[in-house]
Structure 1
């Protein structure tokens, strides 16, 4: 009788199991991301490459651009470094996912959070937010430094209109590229493979398809992820044949959404 009462008491006092919510998972993912040095090295490289190369290019070409013989606009140079900074966005997006697969930590993550979709969502939200903030700040730093040299030659660009759009557009561009890497990371589950595949698509294949003759080649070039999102991050793109800013961003977002949808299906079906 006493044993039965004790057993009932223990069952009554047992605390219910709490399923982690999105906020909990976001906090956990941020701790994991912020606790490794590779994150800070990659973010530092984003700023150095994105802002530093913009300043260097503007300083080197300011006199030429002001001389009246240039066939390019100063607006094409004011965010030039962001084209290289996208490499860092690819790396960070990949590491956010694949580092857990390489160490086996992903099994503990999925055990702690049974809803794998919540894990994917948390990683996606975290990387998107982080790269948008860092990308926008980097573009602004590059603008301040690069525009100094342009202004000395009398061709400075006011922070308004397309120039202002290109500042937060650079953040949107890096956020989308990083999110693309997150999706590919869940599909490939391998760091080197993810980085290689995404860089090959946005940097190599994006240029190679332009060699396809005719209208097919033109549209393939416009629709490749790196090319589609390029205009949103520049007041005046180097290639005027690409899609304009907002349609190009819409294409990039759609492509990222398709990759994430495929990743979500595979994550739910495959073992960790």
Structure 2
């Protein structure tokens, strides 16, 4: 009897089939696109159309387009995290790992295939989120007389970094799902941390220099540094990391959670 092929390409093909044959990816993508478009369009209308009449500090017009477009990552990043986490935890919940491990006995190879597949899916989510934020945001900015800067190299460098950030967020989701196999627990952790815990930590850390130095290594802060623009950094005065440092921090979160999860939950018997 011949041994089954167990190459990385086989694992990636298997994981891609699993992902695309469920409704999870497109349901999350549709919700994300609508949410991002609403946020980007709203801030473009407020800051672009009403900013000149508002009192208080103003955001320079040259910085406004990137701020609007950055809603793709600053509010949209939770969706690739959920995608990555659910892609893993659903395997534990429905015990589909059993036939997968029978077909591909090398568990590390299976996890590598899932990680690569979700990295690509996260990048695709980044492209969708940017299409929503830039499509709606640029249209509204142009309508209120603000140059959307779509021809500027800086904007397209921002696009590339944003897609990378969303890919890394999806990888973090895979790591979290591997580390916390319970689907309910993973969802609660993602939503609680991204929507409440980290924003409060970043706000509280901004009051002292030492805590601000620590907070720049939080995943959301690192993502904002990688992307280069965010409503959070605009309000707090920026981040201390440069873009490549932010990318390395995000990648480290994905790697550490995945490795720990591999040596704990992933190697357990599946029944």
TM-score interval, smaller chain: 0.7 to 0.9
How many pairs are equivalent? Answer: 258
Structure 1 residues 140, 232: closer, same or farther in 2, change over 3 A? farther
Conserved in 1, the CA contact under 8 Å of 2:161 and 2:226?
yes
**Which residue in 1 is equivalent to 2:4?**
18
What does residue range 243-262 of structure 1 map to in structure 2 within 5 Å? 243-262=241-260
Cα RMSD after superposing both structures: 2.3
* CA-CA distance at 1:268 after TM superposition: 5.6
1:205 and 2:197 are equivalent in the alignment:
yes
The two structures have a TM-score, normalised by structure 1, of 0.85
| Cα distance in structure 2, aligned partners of 1:183 and 1:81 | 22
**Which residue in 2 is equivalent to 1:241?**
238
| Cα distance in structure 2, aligned partners of 1:64 and 1:241 | 24
Conserved in 2, the CA contact under 8 Å of 1:187 and 1:266?
yes
1:63 and 2:49 are equivalent in the alignment:
yes
**Which residue in 2 is equivalent to 1:77?**
68
Conserved in 2, the CA contact under 8 Å of 1:228 and 1:248?
yes
Q: What secondary structure does 1:154 align onto?
A: coil
**Which residue in 2 is equivalent to 1:116?**
107
* CA-CA distance at 1:267 after TM superposition: 4.6
* CA-CA distance at 1:245 after TM superposition: 2.5
**Which residue in 2 is equivalent to 1:158?**
149
**Which residue in 1 is equivalent to 2:184?**
192
From the CA coordinates, give the structure whose radius of gyration is larger.
1
1:223 and 2:221 are equivalent in the alignment:
no
Conserved in 1, the CA contact under 8 Å of 2:198 and 2:218?
yes
Conserved in 2, the CA contact under 8 Å of 1:202 and 1:227?
no
Question: 5+ unaligned residues in a row in structure 1: which ranges?
Answer: 1-14
1:138 and 2:136 are equivalent in the alignment:
no
| Cα distance in structure 1, aligned partners of 2:222 and 2:20 | 31
1:149 and 2:118 are equivalent in the alignment:
no
Conserved in 2, the CA contact under 8 Å of 1:53 and 1:81?
no
Structure 1 residues 140, 166: closer, same or farther in 2, change over 3 A? farther
* CA-CA distance at 1:206 after TM superposition: 2.0
| Cα distance in structure 2, aligned partners of 1:21 and 1:198 | 32
What does residue range 1-12 of structure 1 map to in structure 2 within 5 Å? none
Structure 1 residues 234, 149: closer, same or farther in 2, change over 3 A? farther
Conserved in 2, the CA contact under 8 Å of 1:82 and 1:170?
yes
**Which residue in 2 is equivalent to 1:11?**
none
Structure 1 residues 90, 268: closer, same or farther in 2, change over 3 A? closer
Residue 167 (structure 1) aligned to one of 155, 159, 165: 159
**Higher RCO (CA 8 Å, separation ≥ 6 residues):** 2
| Cα distance in structure 2, aligned partners of 1:157 and 1:246 | 25
Q: Deviations over 1:176-207 (max 9, x none)?
A: 11111111111111112112223333443323
1:177 and 2:164 are equivalent in the alignment:
no
Q: What secondary structure does 1:85 align onto?
A: coil
| Cα distance in structure 2, aligned partners of 1:158 and 1:143 | 11
| Cα distance in structure 2, aligned partners of 1:51 and 1:66 | 23
